[in-house]
Structure 1
Amino acid sequence: MSDQSGNVLSFGPFELSIRNRLLTRGSSVVPLGARAMDLLIILVEQANKVVSRRTLIERVWGERGVDQVSLRVHISALRKALAHGDPGRRYIANVPGRGYSFIVPISSSSVQAPEPNQASKSWLPVRLTRMVGRKEIVGTISTKLTSQRFVTIVGPGGIGKTTVAVAVAHELRASFDGQVRFIDLSSLGDPSLIAPAVATLFGLPVQTDDVMPALIKRLRASPALLVLDGCEHLIDGAAALAEELCCQVPTLHLLGTSREAMRVEGECVHELTALACPPEDQEISALRALDYPAVQLLVDRVRAVHGHFDLADTDAPLAAAICRRLDGIALAIELAAGRIDVYGFSKTASLLDERLNLSWAGRRTAMPRHQTLNATLEWSYDLLEETERLVLRRLSVFAGGFTFEAAVAVVADETVDEARASDCIWELRSKSMITADGQESRLRLLDTTRAFASRRLAETDELNLFRRRHALYFSDLFKQGASMDVSGWPRTLRVEIGNLRTALTWAFCGGGDAQIGVDLAAASASTWMGMAQLTECREWMAKAVSRLDGMNSGTRQEMVIQSALASCTMFTGGMTEESYASWDKTRGLAERLDDVEHQLVSLLVLWAHQIRLPRYAEAVLLAESCGQLAERIVDRGAIAMANYMRGISYHHTGRILQAESCLERSLHCDDETARQALIKRFGYDRKTDALMILSNVVWLRGSPDHARRLTEMSLAEARQLDQAVPLCVALAGASFDAYLLDPDAGETTARANELVDHAAKYGVESYQGFGMCVQALGRGRRGETEIAAELLYAGLEKLSAASYGVFNAIMLAEFARCLAVSGRAGQAMAVFEGAKINLDDEHQIHAPELLRIRGELALANKEGLSACREYFLRAIELSERQGSLAWTLRAATSLAMAERSDARREAARELLRTTYVKFRGGADTFDLRLAARVLDGSYWRDDVIRAVP
């Protein structure tokens, strides 16, 4: 038989042709009068719903009307005709005070309701041929249902409650000898129709208004499983029926699905969670993505419409993103899969980001409320009370999670007071419209629910009002956080990043409030910095600066915004004129406002500008200015900062002993509170940097093992902070120091790779460039000179764009040495000369090593022994003046290997021997191993270049 669209329906033993106005039973026509036929068609078209007497009268008799006595007469005639053809079954129920309802299931198939003796049959929807990610849950619920008898599967619409319930029913069908019944309550329009509908399922004739006694008696005859699907819209009636049946029939097992629990005796609630999605990872492979059920379902459904399909590695991050965007909701993923066949992964993902489409159609065979996301959400929304709908709409202004306190503060007003708002929020939680956010005491709307509620809010005049309330709430919250104790800050505010982003977006848009945006930008600056969201922080601070007006000018608020903008610009774009100007302005504001903290930080960053260019004389002057300010205010943190700046300055200018003293004082006398405040507000840690530079200092001073320990301490401090820039600093120092200690070790490559990945992730271009240079040197040592050259110059370009010129000379000189090793002496000299290295500048840390490398290149290019000897001797003399034992060892080794006459060779070896014995530990470094071989005569130089690191 066809369905209603074909105008032929079947119920019980009857078939009704609406088009032909013909009721048949088998081959016999059932005689009906015109009015009775009209009534039957109206009731069948709205089966399981209550049709009022007035509606029946208006549709059958029209404007002329009729009294209710005539209506009862024709209803009675219709009942008799149906009873004559099917004695013992009740087709039309009278709902007192409301009207009539057709209560027998209507089907387009030839299967009829089973009679009591048909124990081998059951009425169940078809089980999905492939159910993804729910096997374990089906087993868990089956076990619960067997032992506890009454289980309700609770969860938001579209999450897969019906699918799981059907699977459980099929799983247990044999256990109940086929006595398994399934009823979709969404088709029923009144609680009073539930019991008759269930009775019909079990083959009972419905002849009275109270079928419960007969139903209980029938169910006691043998164990059975009853599945009540979609209880939420008749929750009170379903709960009453379930509780009575559970109490009266010990052999009955009940499985319900609902947006909310029934809250009755004996019920065991199983909250169905979303399908697990992959974490955010742009490098995720297809194989790893397919470990997650959400992606498995997506791929499975794409295959269903596309035939043969395999997820490619290039599409895996997009597939994972689509699943996360849809919160792992099974129905939403199925609907998206249909669009992937048309648009592909990239376009589908962008469509979801632009507008979460709730109207995409799904399987035609699905229940109407499951055919689109909008239908699912409409179904849930229509079941809410009006105040609950209003609260849900207002909650859509939140992004991501929110606390209960935040929700009440934003949505409560004169229309809905705080007490009522609180009640509504908890009711929405119990009805699965609000979910737990996975974090303690936080709630959230699923993205699909939020999109639906947001569109409903846009249809009202409250949208802008509640976005404003939302932005004001978080402006106050972040102002409190900005003044909060450092230890309590990160955990409290990091989780609100989604709400912060949403509030700023609204404030700076055309219909927003720029002043709220400026307030919120200033209040949140330290949060952005603390989370290492440097690129985004720069964008928001730039927007705030563009909207500053006369009221904000010269204020602490402007200073905070300018300093955050300057910090982010410096870390992401390098030491540019733009960032220098911002910091210079910040320093002026800080001096006028007598804000010592910002004065110190401004001096620190302006000093760092000069270090990187490099302009060491100016850097030393700024370090001394910081020292004078620190001594004036007698602050331990400020004194530690001044010593840190002095120590770094002295290190870069080759004053190693002074650098060591200042850095040790900085570390030993630092104030932890001041240090943490600097990290919190500006995302920079002087301790990490001081440890790393001190590591290089003690290596130069002849203690490689101690240098390694300091490197590990620096890395440990940076990792513990979980910040972008400190870890960049630590990894930069660790990778280059590892190259100096043992260039061929795997540790060198690993640290350089980690630096490049970490810096790229957070957009810290300068440190990414530094890491690329270290990678290039490693490749150059392995003879991969072409790849190394490309990588090196790409890295140097990033450093140049960031005005970071400190390491240009040593990087290019070392690369030139690698080229010479590979037999490209002429090209090596061209690179060295092209770098325009000033070998007469003795006031820099790498000066001795640059002289030594120049001497090695002189040998490679056959400039003569006297020429290379002069470079080596100059390197030794300068390194001894610096106090750099490491540079002295390298130059002495090169000289001992280069000399040809016995007298000069012996003198060079004696110098090397006296240098070698001064080292404290570290015999396993490349330099010391090579020196030992030269001293014991086991190494004779045929090619000096190839041996020396």
Structure 2
Amino acid sequence: MSDTFTFGPFLLSPGTRVLRKDGAELSLGSRAFDILTALVECNGKVLTRRELMAIAWPDLVVEDSNVRVQVANIRRALGCGQDGARYIASVAGRGYCFVAEVARTTAEAKAPSLFNFPLPLKGAVGREEAVVELSQVLQDSRLVTVVGAAGVGKTTLAVLVAHGLHDVFQEAIFFVDLSTQDCGEMVAEALACAVGYTGPGAELFPGLLEVLSTRRTLIVLDNCEHVIGAAAALCVRILEGCASVTFLATSREALRVSEEFVYLLRPLASPPNTGRLSAQQAMDWPAIQLFMERAREGGVRDGLSDDDAPTVAALCRRLDGNPHAIGLVASRVGTYGIQGVADLLENQFALHWQGRRDACPRQQTVEAMINWSHNLLTEHDRQVLYRLSVFCGEFPIGAAVAVVSDERFDAFQVAEAIGDLVDKSLVAVSSLNEEIQIRLLETTKAYAATRLARLQGRDEIARRHALYYAQQLRNHAGRQAQPGSADVPTCAPEIGNVRAAMEWAFTAQQDLALAAEISGMAAPLLLELGLFRECKRCCERALKLLPESLRSSTIELGLLESAAITYYAGGDYDGEMTHVVERGLALSRELGDVRSAFQFLAGLHLALMANGRFAESLSVSDEYAAMAAAQGGPGEAVIARWMEGSSRHFRGFQRAADDSYGASVELVALHELRPLHYFELKEQVVAGLGMARVKWMRGLPIQALQLALGAMEESRRHPDSFYLCATLCFPILLGNGLTDLAEELIQELENVANDYKVAVRSQVVHFLKGLLLHGRGGFPAAAVHLRQCLDMLPPPKMSVVRTDALQALAEAQFACGEALAALASIDEAIELAEKTGGAFNLADLLRTRVEVLQGLPQGRQELLEDLLAQALDCAREQAALGWELRVALSLARLKASLGKPREARALLEEVYARCSEGFETRDLMAAAQALEALCAEPVP
């Protein structure tokens, strides 16, 4: 390739494989270079991880995490995040996109395309001026609603305009089809799904706003009228919280919110009834042009004659210039001729566009239009159309044949009828993964569903639909990826139809057992897709309405397990999670399901630790170990040691924790681990972090760092655990002086959240930024972030983070001269540690309290010496040499100030002599300097 690319201060030459910044050549690995080249060449286009793997590792099978590591290397080389620079954006669940402006020196720019966005028509007859006007309005207004009657072409216009604005919005354009959403609470989730945000969490909007704020974005909200209130509220909230978003909505009525620009899309102009009209004159009118274009598509070969021109004009006027109605009528001209179509309209339909006054608003303007098309169908085609209305969104033609066919209509007849409906524009056709998909237009579906509801067999059709998707879920069972993993689900049943099947089964209440079974099988699919909030609602409803026959069944057990996962992934550790896990544990034992019992015990253990109930968590780990010895295998024995080690670590028993973790390592060396389930995977993650923290607290900072880096690498395989890894490993990085790596970790944490849309834990980001600023001496800014973290983190949830944040805040406040506030903060931290039993850093908390007390005028030095002696005893009891060194340093300084240099030196020398590594780390360097100073002083 001879082209070169420039972006920001960089020049990329793929032909010579050179990357330069401001003229200086940068070093970049070969695979990273290949990935960067592909992203830059496809600037603005999303490349999937599989595409990038094929580029960087041709003919090799590698894991997705390799791509993420290489992208992290590229971001580091380009300085992403420094001074606001942004080059590579993550698109959740899909891949990566180069977003900086790129100049190519020789080759022509590629034709732009929008991913996962409806293709525009070659042209919209009579809408050229509307496209220009609306495009300009969108650059001046952030909320524009295209308003008009059903079938007037709102969606067509919106798609055309969006494609025309790809240069303005750099292809950050998303299409949200609300026609498949049957309740307002699903509107926000539909938008999140369209932009790739599928993360768990109790609150959807913070993470969604973070995704949308990364670049200028255009969101097309299509078909808002049936969820108008929710759509309006969504627009207002996002516009208030994110200045980079523009909305283009389509609706039959305005949203009626502040600063909305309403663009009224009028019908296509038709010639007035003024007498004789030639074909040439008629073809100047957009409605006539569209009529003839659709007629040609329907098989008409001749052009418009002067004789037929007045008839066509009358038809268009009668159809009120509605593009959809015109298309329906014109498509039958090839069969009936122009006059024949006119006669049908005149004789068979009064075409009362207002419809029945008791009909829903949509039917008042659309029913007659669909009625006309419906009455042109054979009875056979009508029945098939009615039955197809049980489907939602797009669905495979095979599914349609399986559900619709019966003893009355065989599979061949159904397939033939679907072909007829496609020809009549009542059913749309598309292709997905080389499989034919069909979809009823929204208005057609509503019309057909009304007709189906009048038939006695409606529930039987809906039941067959539910049974079909129940079988699809059974076929899919066992192939799901772990919730929160980087794997992308494939060949899963269409979630829209799964939802429809569940909804019918619960609403009809004719077969609650089937409803519960579908829910139980759908829940893992929802987890697989990252729809944690929807999965939670699904499980809660199914458990509430579970029929007595399924109480204490495997179906209830599966629902409880999925519900527990949603609670944990969403940070809802207390309350319902504990109740659900305890019920699941009791039921698994009742059913003799050992696997589930182990899973629920692990979940209970994690919930207790997250809630700061460390003593109880140790009891649960003992229970797990006993059960593992009696009923488990090598895998359970390993997990038991993980749980035991983690509980002991947070309780403050560091030597015992080290022994437990060491035993787990020996077991893993002897026995290959079986595949782990969700909570077992989380235990593995926590144990990996615990091993690093134990080594750090025991005065082995180099070993701790190696384990922490390994744990971080492993957590990249499970992105929903990455925030936990960053939180618990961060002090180890700072203690080893790796502030630059710590800063990169914060950026990577945010990137991973964007990649996979796991919950963006804002409180964790504030916590880490506060620790980093504290470590660099920026105490006022550190205090701001730490306060924000604490405000967002009510006790006792995540008590480990809260305790560390309070200690760091106290030290920052003390450095800023706020001694009383610092004392209040450290006292709260100590009280929390004692209340929760989380004594892992109690010795260090006591040390901080003494240092704060030293800054108060009423502090008694002798009393402070006793307090430090207590802290020293605490550290020694915990076998925490790392804490012992810190406390000994503070105590030595205090003794020296009290005229006891000999005691000070002897104390510090004894502790320092037991340290065996990490002499370049912050604590050991401070101790060495203090010893040198003490040795230089004369001893009385």
Q: Under a length normalisation based on structure 1, what TM-score does the superposition of the two structures give?
A: 0.57
Of stretches 546-555 and 670-679 in structure 1, the one that deviates more from structure 2 is 670-679
Report the equivalent of 1:85.
none
Contact 1:643 1:663 in 2 (8 A): yes
Report the equivalent of 1:538.
536
Report the equivalent of 2:239.
314
Contact 2:389 2:445 in 1 (8 A): yes
Report the equivalent of 1:283.
209
Pair 1:583–1:864, CA change in 2 (3 A): same
Q: Deviations over 1:913-935 (max 9, x none)?
A: 66557656656644345445445
Report the equivalent of 1:872.
868
CA distance in 2, matches of 1:444, 1:909: 82
Pair 1:742–1:807, CA change in 2 (3 A): same
Contact 2:515 2:542 in 1 (8 A): yes
Contact 2:328 2:424 in 1 (8 A): no
Match of 1:367 among 263, 273, 287: 287
Report the equivalent of 2:677.
678
Contact 2:523 2:559 in 1 (8 A): yes
CA distance in 2, matches of 1:755, 1:600: 33
Q: CA deviation at 1:402?
A: 3.5
1:827 lines up with 2:821 in the alignment: yes
Report the equivalent of 2:695.
698
Pair 1:667–1:503, CA change in 2 (3 A): farther
Report the equivalent of 1:852.
847
Report the equivalent of 2:349.
none
Alignment of 1:193-212 (within 5 A): none
Q: CA deviation at 1:162?
A: 3.5
1:481 lines up with 2:469 in the alignment: no
Report the equivalent of 1:409.
402
Contact 1:759 1:768 in 2 (8 A): no
Report the equivalent of 2:44.
none
Give the letter for the 1:629 counterpart.
M
Of stretches 919-928 and 559-568 in structure 1, the one that deviates more from structure 2 is 919-928
Of stretches 584-593 and 433-442 in structure 1, the one that deviates more from structure 2 is 433-442
Report the equivalent of 2:622.
624
Give the letter for the 1:686 counterpart.
E
Q: Note the aligned Cα RMSD (angstroms).
A: 5.2
1:783 lines up with 2:780 in the alignment: yes
Q: SS in structure 2 opposite 1:459?
A: helix
CA distance in 2, matches of 1:546, 1:570: 20
1:469 lines up with 2:464 in the alignment: yes
Q: Deviations over 1:100-140 (max 9, x none)?
A: xxxxxxxxxxxxxxxxxxxxxxxxxxxxxxxxxxxxxxxx9
Q: Deviations over 1:740-796 (max 9, x none)?
A: 55596572585399479949997969x665555445555675314773464143233
Pair 1:411–1:548, CA change in 2 (3 A): same
Contact 1:812 1:835 in 2 (8 A): yes
Give the letter for the 2:677 counterpart.
L
Larger radius of gyration: 1
Contact 2:174 2:219 in 1 (8 A): yes
Q: CA deviation at 1:584?
A: 1.9
Of stretches 844-853 and 600-609 in structure 1, the one that deviates more from structure 2 is 600-609
Contact 1:159 1:274 in 2 (8 A): no
Q: Deviations over 1:43-62 (max 9, x none)?
A: xxxxxxxxxxxxxxxxxxxx
Pair 1:274–1:283, CA change in 2 (3 A): closer
Pair 1:397–1:933, CA change in 2 (3 A): farther
1:457 lines up with 2:449 in the alignment: yes
Contact 1:393 1:454 in 2 (8 A): no
Contact 1:809 1:837 in 2 (8 A): no
Give the letter for the 1:283 counterpart.
L
Contact 2:481 2:489 in 1 (8 A): no
Structure 1 unaligned spans of 5+: 1-139, 144-154, 168-272, 299-310, 324-332, 350-358, 942-949
Q: Deviations over 1:14-56 (max 9, x none)?
A: xxxxxxxxxxxxxxxxxxxxxxxxxxxxxxxxxxxxxxxxxxx
CA distance in 2, matches of 1:573, 1:815: 24
Report the equivalent of 2:7.
none
Report the equivalent of 1:557.
555
Q: SS in structure 1 opposite 2:548?
A: coil
Pair 1:606–1:363, CA change in 2 (3 A): same
Pair 1:698–1:284, CA change in 2 (3 A): closer
Q: SS in structure 2 opposite 1:443?
A: strand
Give the letter for the 2:643 counterpart.
M
Count of residues in correspondence between the two structures: 643
1:601 lines up with 2:521 in the alignment: no
Contact 1:736 1:748 in 2 (8 A): no
Q: CA deviation at 1:595?
A: 0.6
Report the equivalent of 2:583.
585
CA distance in 2, matches of 1:347, 1:553: 54
CA distance in 2, matches of 1:316, 1:843: 38
CA distance in 2, matches of 1:495, 1:427: 26
Give the letter for the 1:642 counterpart.
A
Pair 1:468–1:704, CA change in 2 (3 A): farther
CA distance in 2, matches of 1:698, 1:752: 26
Alignment of 1:779-818 (within 5 A): 782-784=779-781, 787-788=784-785, 790-797=787-794, 799-800=795-796, 802=797, 804-818=798-812
Q: Deviations over 1:123-162 (max 9, x none)?
A: xxxxxxxxxxxxxxxxx9xx9xxxxxxxxxxx99994224
CA distance in 1, matches of 2:435, 2:671: 31
Q: CA deviation at 1:469?
A: 2.7
Report the equivalent of 2:661.
663
Give the letter for the 2:121 counterpart.
G
Give the letter for the 2:823 counterpart.
M
Q: SS in structure 1 opposite 2:793?
A: helix
Q: SS in structure 1 opposite 2:209?
A: coil
Identity fraction in percent: 20
Q: CA deviation at 1:629?
A: 1.4
Report the equivalent of 2:299.
none
Q: SS in structure 1 opposite 2:437?
A: strand
CA distance in 2, matches of 1:536, 1:516: 19
Structure 2 unaligned spans of 5+: 1-107, 129-170, 176-193, 198-207, 225-235, 270-284, 292-320, 332-369
Match of 1:503 among 501, 504, 513: 501
CA distance in 2, matches of 1:294, 1:847: 54
Match of 1:727 among 722, 728, 732: 722
Pair 1:747–1:515, CA change in 2 (3 A): same
Give the letter for the 1:708 counterpart.
L
CA distance in 1, matches of 2:759, 2:173: 35
Pair 1:626–1:742, CA change in 2 (3 A): same
Q: CA deviation at 1:827?
A: 1.7
Report the equivalent of 2:179.
none
Contact 1:738 1:747 in 2 (8 A): yes
Q: Deviations over 1:628-656 (max 9, x none)?
A: 21122241222122111111111112222
Pair 1:921–1:848, CA change in 2 (3 A): same
1:160 lines up with 2:153 in the alignment: no
Q: CA deviation at 1:524?
A: 2.3
Give the letter for the 1:620 counterpart.
L
Of stretches 417-426 and 528-537 in structure 1, the one that deviates more from structure 2 is 417-426
Pair 1:437–1:718, CA change in 2 (3 A): farther
Higher relative contact order (CA 8 A, sep 6+): 2
Contact 2:403 2:461 in 1 (8 A): yes
Pair 1:460–1:525, CA change in 2 (3 A): closer
CA distance in 2, matches of 1:165, 1:345: 28
Q: Under a length normalisation based on structure 2, what TM-score does the superposition of the two structures give?
A: 0.58
Alignment of 1:129-278 (within 5 A): 159-163=120-124, 277=175
Contact 1:283 1:317 in 2 (8 A): yes
Of stretches 549-558 and 486-495 in structure 1, the one that deviates more from structure 2 is 486-495
Alignment of 1:13-28 (within 5 A): none
CA distance in 2, matches of 1:770, 1:286: 20
Q: CA deviation at 1:859?
A: 1.4
Report the equivalent of 2:884.
888
Give the letter for the 1:476 counterpart.
Q
CA distance in 1, matches of 2:260, 2:609: 44
Report the equivalent of 1:109.
none
Q: SS in structure 2 opposite 1:283?
A: helix
Contact 2:790 2:802 in 1 (8 A): no
CA distance in 1, matches of 2:460, 2:558: 28
Report the equivalent of 1:445.
439
Pair 1:892–1:667, CA change in 2 (3 A): same
